[in-house]
Structures are given as structure tokens and as C-alpha cells.
Structure 1
Amino acid sequence: MRVTVDKDLCIGAGQCVVTAPDVFDQDDEGIVELLAETPDESERDGVIEAENVCPARVISVEK
């Protein structure tokens, strides 16, 4: 699994951090920070949920 984010389009909702805190974080301005581009398989459910709940649709997951 490979995760990418488009920081330029992020609106700082923070749903990604709630659903997968070991993979996503937010900078001081609330913009998404990707902590793990290729997260462990145990993170799959949270990463997929983060992709689905992101209101700005800035998370992409290659499965």
C-alpha cells in the first residue's frame, strides 16, 4: 500500500489524524503531514477510512 497526499488542497479538517494517527499528522497550520508513505499492513483499515472521510479528497491510496 502506498499513500500520497495533496497538501496544496488540504483544508485542515483533521479527519485523517483521527482515523490513522500513526500515518497522518497536521502541521502548525492544520495541513496534513504524511508520516508513513508505505504504512504497515496493520494500518490499512485506518488509511482507507481516512481516504474516504477526507472532505477535500486529498488522500490517495494505491492498494
Structure 2
Amino acid sequence: MRIGVNSEVCEAHGQCSVVDMDLFPLDDDGYSALGPDATVPEGEEDVAKIGVESCPVRALSVLEEE
């Protein structure tokens, strides 16, 4: 599973990081430091989905597997 953040949409609410600080890191200004394409470690898929859904501006997304 892969997830990503649209940095142009992120408003630094930080709700994703509250779900899992390691999976959804923030930069020094509180914006997502996830990047546009990150692999979710095996076994963390459910947490990743919760983190993606927690974003109030929908800046995070689950990416299609190829």
C-alpha cells in the first residue's frame, strides 16, 4: 500500500500525525513531510487509512497500486 500528500492542499492541521507520528511525519512548520508517494509498512495499512481519513482538507490519499 502506498500513500501520499498533496503539499499544496495541506494546511498543517496535524491530525494525521496524531494518528501515527512515524507514519505521518510533520516538518518544522507542522506541515506533512510524508511526500507524494510513500510505502506503508506491512501491517500498518489500517492505521494508514485512518490517518488519511483524518485529514480535514483531504490532502492525503491512498495511491493506486500498479
Q: TM-score range by the shorter chain?
A: 0.7 to 0.9
Q: Does 1:47 align with 2:63?
A: no
> TM-score, normalization: structure 1?
0.84
- Distance in 2 separating the partners of 1:44 and 1:22: 13
Instruction: Give unmatched runs, 5+ long, in structure 2.
Output: none
TM-score (norm 2): 0.81
Spell out the pairing of 1:12-51 with structure 2 (5 A cutoff): 12-34=12-34, 37-51=38-52
8 A contact 1:4–1:37 mirrored in 2: yes
Would you tell me which structure has more helix in proportion to its own residues? 1
After TM superposition, the runs of 4+ consecutive aligned structure 1 residues lying more than 6 A away are none
Identity of aligned residues (%): 37
Q: Which has the higher strand share?
A: 1
Corresponding pairs, count: 63
How well do the aligned residues superpose, as a CA RMSD in angstroms?
1.8
